[in-house]
């Protein structure tokens, strides 16, 4: 019985590995975007418009000239991304995975191989929390100092 469970598990993982990075339709056109941070994004990450999956990330690399993360993704045929759109790294809640969210603009359609210029990288939650904690602690010490000097 254990052998059957192991074979099924191996088959499942082999199927998942073969499907990683595959779009539902299989056909699409490539688009590029460059980000300062791409934490949590990997090959196979969803690309979404209005929360609907419209593509997948095909490659993640570092541009050695600009030191920006270069993402190549494929958008499903029939979805025209305007050239003034914004691509940002978003997450599914506090503990959810990252995905690329495209906020469409109103310009002309981006051609195949085009680049989304307007990008917003991943936000490091720990940095935001530590900044908030520092702000709270410095604010309380300033309040205490002003109370001590008031007669």
User: Using an 8 Å Cβ cutoff, are 84 and 105 in contact?
Assistant: yes
Torsion of CA 14, 39, 89, 94, to 10 degrees: 90
| The model's pTM | 0.67
Q: What is the DSSP string of the chain?
A: -HHHHHHHHHHHHHHHHHHTT--SSS-EEEEEEEES--TT--TT-EEEETTEEEEEEEEEEE-TTT-PEEEEEEEETT-PPBTT-EEEEEESSSSSPEEEEEE--SSPBPPTTEEE-EEE----HHHHHHHHHHHHHHHHHHHHHHHHH--
Query: Tens digits of per-residue pLDDT, 92-134?
Result: 877 778 999 999 999 899 999 999 999 998 776 667 777 888 8
Query: Tens digits of per-residue pLDDT, 31-81?
Result: 999 999 898 899 999 999 999 999 999 999 999 999 999 999 999 999 999
Q: What is the pLDDT of residue 18?
A: 58
């Amino acid at each position: 019985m254990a052998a059957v469970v192991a074979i099924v598990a191996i088959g499942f993982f082999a199927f998942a590995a073969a499907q990683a990075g595959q779009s539902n339709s299989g056909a699409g056109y490539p688009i590029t975007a460059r980000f300062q941070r791409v934490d949590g994004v990997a090959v196979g990450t969803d690309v979404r418009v209005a929360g609907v999956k419209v593509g997948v990330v095909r490659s993640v690399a570092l541009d050695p000239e600009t030191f920006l993360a270069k993402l190549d993704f494929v958008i499903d045929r029939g979805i025209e991304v305007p050239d003034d759109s914004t691509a940002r790294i978003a997450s599914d809640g506090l503990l959810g995975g990252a995905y690329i969210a495209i906020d469409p603009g109103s310009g002309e359609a981006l051609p195949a191989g085009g680049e989304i210029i307007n990008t917003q990288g991943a936000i490091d939650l720990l940095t935001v929390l530590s900044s908030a904690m520092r702000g709270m602690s410095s604010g309380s010490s300033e309040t205490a100092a002003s109370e001590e000097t008031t007669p």
